[in-house]
Amino acid sequence: MKVIGDGGTAAMAAGVVLGVLGIIGVSLNYPLFRKILESSMKRYSADILSLAKQIAEE
């Protein structure tokens, strides 16, 4: 297996920058997911409860 590139400082710096950007993206993902999930639950909770009530009454 060969090393891609010359393994210089520029490649190392690019890898570190890319890694930091990835960590930032991952750390922002969970709060964003929770916010979207919460708004979706508020939006559809009444519909889900009414449908569940209809199914239970059958």
Write the pLDDT tens digit of every residue in 7-55. 678 888 888 999 999 999 999 999 999 999 999 999 999 999 999 999 9
Which is more confident, 58 or 46?
A: 46
pLDDT of 5 reads 67
**For the chain, what is the radius of gyration of the CA atoms?**
24
pLDDT of 58 reads 78
**What residue type is 1 in one-letter code?**
M
CA 38 to chain centre: 14
Minimal CA–CA distance to 48: which of 11, 28, 40? Answer: 40
Note the pTM of the prediction, 2 decimals.
0.55
CA distance 18 to 12: 10
**Residue extents of the structural domains in the chain:** 29-58
pLDDT of 52 reads 92
